[in-house]
């Protein structure tokens, strides 16, 4: 990157982290920022390729490229990059809801959780993660309710969808295993099931290749007589961390359990405060309570609306996969020195937004107990009541989105 690229924070004299105590928000509407122009980058000295560019950033990169093409000013490409990221999420969420046969309302509610819209409108890989989770669950619930027998095409499609999760958060790719625990009788034929298992094996190879691409490229370069920059320091840190965890099993277990027990709290915080930087500046207790109560009510209503049930076997496998995913996320985050050091009591960097997949699956687990409590036959037995609930859910989601968007705009302006 060119050394003469302007430093936005130095020019605007605004803090990058107002949540650390400053009462001045970082805003991107200042005259100084709007006057900044794009700078050309010099990649000639970037060195050898050490990995493959993650396609999760392609939408925002496309927006930035378009912005550079139509305007010389940085703010145009900056905002177009964010807008394209949000558009990608919107398209994935749209197709997830559209293609779902009997899980549309839960997907709609989860897609509009305030923190998902807030996060996907920025520069990150969560836009693809959230969208793919919705698309995956849309196809999975279609398999749960398939009456004609699951075809190979359906299994290939859901496997490829799940495969995309490795680009966002590798542990989430465990979910592609779930459809293969469906009973044999739901498949169109035993041949289809065997072919689908072959697809799973192929997907597993691709996942491994992506996760270990650095090692694979290094081996290939050694074979062809080329060398990579020395990464022994990073590798040594990873090995040292693993060795420490293995040598201190009690510490590893207790730290992991504390982090797991913190998950409900972190999820609650993400729902209550989708714009966490506001907490240090403005009192937002009323909004937090509004978000928590409304989201809880919406989950109860969409669970009442479900007209299918999932077997105990699938629920058990799902919980086991959730455990594997959580363990993988905790381990991955423990390697980030910004949020964890050996000796910490919890892995503080495991944020509530990482557990979006749990919220997406939640109505499936709530369906049975909620119907027992509220007696579905009495409460929503008529189609009119069903329609009224759907109408209320859509209206409530729009109100929740409007309120939180206004608060976000107020915080930045």
pLDDT tens-place values along the chain, 413 residues long: 344 444 544 554 444 554 445 555 455 566 767 788 888 777 666 666 666 778 888 999 999 999 999 999 888 998 999 999 999 999 999 999 999 999 999 999 999 998 898 889 888 888 999 999 999 999 999 999 887 888 889 999 999 999 999 988 888 999 999 998 888 888 888 888 888 888 888 888 888 888 887 777 777 777 776 655 554 444 445 556 778 888 888 988 998 898 888 888 889 888 888 876 665 556 677 888 899 999 999 999 999 888 888 989 999 999 999 999 998 888 888 877 777 878 888 888 788 888 999 999 999 999 999 988 876 555 545 555 677 888 999 999 999 988 888 777 665 55
* pLDDT given for residue 232 in this prediction: 46
Distances (CA, A) of 121 to 34, 149, 258, 270, 363: 19, 39, 31, 16, 26
* pLDDT given for residue 233 in this prediction: 46
Find, among 131, 113, 126, the residue nearest to 401 by Cα: 113
Q: List, in sequence order, the alpha helices (H) in 185-231.
A: 190-211, 213-223
User: What is the rounded end-to-end Cα distance, in angstroms, of the chain?
Assistant: 31
How far is Cα 360 from Cα 180, in angstroms, rounded to an integer? Answer: 20
* pLDDT given for residue 280 in this prediction: 55
How far is Cα 257 from Cα 373, in angstroms, rounded to an integer? Answer: 31
Token code pair at residue 102: 């009997």
Token code pair at residue 327: 């363990």
Largest CA distance in the chain: 74
Query: Is the distance from CB of 285 to CB of 398 less than 8 angstroms?
Result: no
How far is Cα 276 from Cα 284, in angstroms, rounded to an integer? Answer: 10
Q: Which SS3 state, helix, strand or coil, does residue 46 take?
A: coil
**Strand partners of residue 21:** none
Sign of CA pseudo-dihedral 138, 141, 147, 149: positive
DSSP 2: -
Find, among 143, 145, 153, 140, the residue nearest to 107 by Cα: 140
* pLDDT given for residue 350 in this prediction: 80
- E strand or H helix at 68: helix 58-70
Please report where in the chains the tokens 């993400």 appear, as a residue.
270
Distances (CA, A) of 396 to 114, 146, 285, 316: 12, 31, 19, 32
Query: Is the distance from CB of 175 to CB of 165 less than 8 angstroms?
Result: yes
DSSP 73: B
Find, among 366, 383, 356, 359, the residue nearest to 301 by Cα: 366
Query: Is the distance from CB of 200 to CB of 180 less than 8 angstroms?
Result: yes
């Amino acid at each position: 990157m060119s050394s003469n690229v302007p430093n936005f924070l130095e020019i605007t004299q605004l803090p990058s982290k107002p949540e650390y105590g400053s009462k001045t928000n970082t805003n991107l509407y200042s005259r100084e920022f709007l006057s900044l122009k794009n700078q050309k980058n010099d990649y000639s000295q970037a060195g050898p390729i050490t990995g493959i560019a993650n396609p999760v950033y392609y939408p925002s990169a496309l927006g930035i490229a378009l912005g550079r093409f139509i305007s010389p000013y940085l703010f145009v490409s900056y905002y177009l990059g964010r807008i394209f990221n949000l558009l990608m999420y919107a398209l994935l969420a749209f197709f997830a809801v559209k293609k779902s046969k009997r899980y549309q309302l839960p997907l709609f509610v989860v897609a509009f959780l305030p923190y998902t819209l807030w996060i996907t409108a920025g520069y990150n890989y969560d836009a693809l993660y959230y969208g793919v989770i919705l698309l995956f669950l849309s196809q999975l619930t279609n398999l749960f309710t398939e009456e004609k027998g699951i075809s190979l095409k359906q299994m290939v499609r859901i496997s490829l969808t799940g495969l995309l999760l490795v680009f966002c958060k590798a542990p989430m790719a465990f979910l592609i295993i779930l459809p293969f625990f469906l009973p044999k009788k739901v498949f169109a034929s035993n041949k289809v099931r065997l072919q689908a298992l072959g697809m799973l094996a192929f997907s597993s190879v691709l996942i491994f290749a992506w996760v270990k691409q650095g090692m694979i490229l290094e081996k290939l370069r050694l074979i062809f007589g080329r060398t990579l920059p020395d990464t022994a320091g990073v590798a040594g840190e990873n090995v040292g961390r693993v060795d420490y965890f293995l040598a201190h099993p009690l510490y590893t277990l207790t730290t992991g359990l504390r982090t797991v027990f913190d998950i409900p709290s972190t999820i609650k915080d993400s729902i209550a405060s989708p714009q966490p930087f506001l907490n240090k500046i403005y009192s937002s207790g009323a909004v937090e309570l509004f978000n928590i109560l409304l989201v809880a009510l919406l989950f109860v209503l969409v669970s009442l609306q479900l007209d299918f049930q999932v077997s105990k076997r699938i629920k058990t496998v799902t919980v086991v996969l959730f455990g594997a995913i959580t363990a993988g996320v905790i381990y991955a985050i423990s390697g980030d020195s910004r949020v964890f050091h050996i000796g910490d009591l919890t892995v503080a960097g495991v944020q509530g937004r990482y557990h979006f997949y749990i919220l997406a699956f939640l109505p499936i687990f709530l369906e049975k107990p909620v119907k027992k409590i509220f007696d579905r036959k009495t409460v929503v037995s008529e189609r009119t009541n069903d329609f009224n609930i759907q109408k209320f859910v859509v209206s409530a989601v729009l109100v929740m989105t409007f309120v939180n968007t206004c608060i976000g705009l107020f915080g930045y302006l």
